[in-house]
A and B are shown apart, each in its own frame.
Chain A
């Protein structure tokens, strides 16, 4: 009989196979993860809400369907941690903000609905930077999550709660959203696989909007194949999202199983290295490039000269969209209302509500966007940023004529200490230096673990970028890197995480 700690360390693929074969009940699997959350989440603080009863009920349905001989999807019965930015009809949705504390949305997001339809067991809602604005979860109104590699460090963000949950074996699957790197950067600093699908490949319906032209839901997992299975489960055209692509889902699962990079042309982006990147990150990155060459890939260098303007363009475009999107939080129809004393006007109540309900980063970005969109500044800021966006997309197109995929470090540093960047917004923004170009162009990108920094022993991510709707290439390359490194090491990277105990009977050091 497998112990709970054994169960939670299986891959999602293994869990689903055991459930489908009747060797393991979805209810027992769910209980093991709920126990794990109870044992570890006071330290990790990944979850804002745990839906124990709902999860067990969903698991029971999977077990009943299996017993009745009904066909099950490839992730049926597997538990998942859902970022608290997706609406859930049976759980609160807060977006990490006081302005939505306790809000019960009346409907499910498309992502939520597809997970349920696939028999995936949603354990609860995970912590995040408020309205997905941040790179550490420190902008959550409910306090930061912790990195399972070192509890004194951030798990990245904004999808840091989902990343921390998956890295702490509280769930094998997590869903995040990526607007400027919010899936890939937490994946990199937690030693996980994180994928930003092609923009429009995964639905935004019921995803509370931050920057609508950039927001993209995607998977956070411990293995590349698990990410591919989750990618396939949530993807595909959604008529409820006007920017959803009506195109076949790229064959990501087949690509993850193929894992062959022989003859593939891999472009190293000149502009995404050097100044600002930690030495330990660059040394892991360079080793990954050598590894890919040894596996038969053809490595070339490519230049994308406008990428150096991606960060400034992003911090005009995303705040501009945010200032419009967050205008809906007016204290009139749902959420917090402050100062309604019977004499104050609607406008005064609105201003008091927003001042009380939003945190500092959200306020900064709303004002920054308001500034960039103001008459007199529009052409010099927002208009110019949109032109830069065109130039960055053209850089990508030119680079993809020379290379099948592009690579870079996912983020310039390893996980930084909690508190280090909270008073310096620009320092925090630099975490997304390498991930933002992919969001602006809307193409597909992945972070896959590529080792531990020799400087601090913390995980480093390799970013892989592919053209629009060529998401399958990410999985070919990611699976090749993962397979070769796991074989060389003799175990998965994540088993070296020592921030928390892996479970009863495991030989991890105690958490701090």
Chain B
């Protein structure tokens, strides 16, 4: 099942990537080839095989709840694209429609 340009445009929206028309054309062809190749995992008979999410077989790692120093607001905000009154300044969150 080939990946269409419209599907790639939808993926770009979900991925928060404002792609150009030229990018959509190029990525559609490339993603189609890649998805065709990775779909080979479906050839494997894996009924009843548990999924592996992680290489390290660890669960419920506990530690003492100890207070440690953290970064100051000044230090954190020094790398922000915009800041005001000790806070991150961001574009409007709510749409008008």
Chain A interface residues (CB < 8 Å from chain B): 103-107, 199-200, 213-214, 239, 242-243, 245, 306, 309, 311-313, 315-316, 323, 327, 330-337, 340, 344-352, 354-355, 358, 360, 363-364, 366-368, 370-372, 374, 380-381, 383-391, 393, 425-426, 429, 439-442
Contact = CB atoms under 8 A, between A and B. Distances in A.
Interface in B48-97: 49-56, 58, 61, 63, 71, 75-76, 78-82, 88, 90-95
A348 B46 CA distance: 42
A312 B15 contact: no
B49 to A, nearest CB: 4
A390 B52 contact: yes
Contacts of B23: 360, 363
A426 B31 CA distance: 10
B31 A368 contact: yes
B15 A323 contact: yes
Contacts of B75: 106
Contact of A312 (B12, B16, B38, B78): B38
Given A381-B39, A388-B44, A354 B17 contact: yes
Which range holds the interface residue count of chain B?
35 or more
Nearest to A214: B55
A334 B90 CA distance: 11
Given A106-B75, A243-B56, A370-B14, A364 B49 contact: no
Nearest to A305: B44
Given A312-B41, A340-B82, A387-B46, 7 more contacts: A104-B79, A309-B44, A311-B37, A316-B41, A333-B88, A363-B27, A387-B50
B39 A312 contact: yes
The prevalent SS among residues of B at the interface is: loop
Contacts of A355: 17-20
A68 B41 CA distance: 61
Interface centre among A239, A350, A367, A385 (most CB of B within 10 A): A367
Given A106-B79, A332-B81, A350-B16, A367 B41 contact: no
A387 to B, nearest CB: 4
Nearest to B49: A387
Nearest to A439: B55
A242 to B, nearest CB: 6
B40 A213 contact: no
20 contacts: A104-B78, A200-B56, A243-B56, A245-B56, A334-B80, A336-B81, A345-B92, A347-B95, A351-B17, A363-B19, A363-B23, A367-B11, A367-B12, A368-B35, A368-B38, A383-B51, A384-B46, A390-B51, A390-B52, A425-B34
